[in-house]
Amino acid sequence: MDLDLTSKSAVVTGAGRGIGLAVVRTLIAEGVRVMGAARTITPELKETGALTVSADLSTADGVTTLMDRALTELGGIDLLVNNVGAGDDVEPVGFLDTDDTQWIRVFDLNLLSAVRASRAALPSLIEQRGAIVNISSINSRLPAAGPVAYSAAKAALAALGKSLAEEFGPQGVRVNTVSPGVVRTPLWEDPDGFGSKVAAGAGAEHGAFLQQIPEAFNITTGRITEPREVAALVAFLLSNVASNISGADYVIDGGMIKTL
């Protein structure tokens, strides 16, 4: 299938690893000019050939730095992928163990980064009749006991996407959401990451825990999702092949969610 994305310009946040890095690779393979933003510019991101910006996207100044650079160096923005989220400091804790500082930090990164980036990009997106994809999570539909702030922020991000689609759709801008389940990323695989903390809380060895996730989480396909699979869905939704899809929330979780 020809996605007809050649010569489009895109901004991808949280591009240094995981889903964001896979999206950058996929879009570049489709001929898109990409600016990838991350707090740390990884060697893997550099190797893609994308333009890069090091910025803390949990802050207004960080988003401003990114979008000013993108508008200048790309000459406009056709596509925006608000992927940055989670963060290395997300803890699998409940409501009473989540203080105001943690709530603010999680919402700044997972919600307000998308608010700020979308606001800055929308004049160009309207001119180009472009598209936005926000990366949420199945936590927005299946909020667990923890991390409660993360689940709430991702639910708000999904609601934001619906609102933006409704407001700016008549001006030619499509906005959709992708909500992954467990994806094979550093969030789950790093020895000091979120997955390791969840394993420790369950009294399990990290490697064994990762192998047991499909069964423990009742994933129908029997495996977790690969980043490139999420990236393929994102690229499709950004393309004109999906030109009449807007305001939708696509779950990619191997069948983990059982309800309608």
The confidence score (pLDDT) of residue 63 equals: 98
Q: CA-CA distance, 244 to 91, in Å (whole number)? A: 38
pTM above 0.95, yes or no: yes
pLDDT computed for residue 67 by the predictor: 98
151's CB contacts (< 8 A; 6+ apart) are 137, 139, 140, 143, 144
> Which residues, 6 or more positions from 254, have their beta carbon under 8 angstroms from its beta carbon?
181, 182, 214, 219, 220, 221, 222, 223, 224, 225
Query: Could you tell me the two tokens for 157?
Result: 């991000």
Residue 250 among the catalytic residues: no
Task: Give pLDDT, residue 164.
Answer: 98
Pick the catalytic residue from 83, 132, 150, 196: 150
Which of 127, 123, 135 has its CA nearest to residue 57? 135
Helix (H) or strand (E) holding 219: none
What's the sign of the alpha-carbon dihedral 108, 230, 238, 52?
Answer: positive
pLDDT value, residue 255:
97
What is the residue-level pLDDT of the chain in tens, covering all 260 positions? 899 999 999 999 999 999 999 999 999 999 999 999 999 999 999 999 999 999 999 999 999 999 999 999 999 999 999 999 976 667 788 899 999 999 999 999 999 999 999 999 999 999 999 999 999 999 999 876 568 999 999 999 999 999 999 999 999 999 999 999 999 998 888 888 888 887 787 788 998 889 999 999 999 999 999 999 999 999 999 999 999 999 999 999 999 999 98
pLDDT reported for residue 209: 87
Amino acid at site 240: N
pLDDT at site 201: 78
Chain position carrying tokens 């790309």? 74
Q: Which domains does the chain have, with CATH numbers?
A: 9-183+226-252 (3.40.50.720)
Q: What is the pLDDT of residue 198?
A: 79
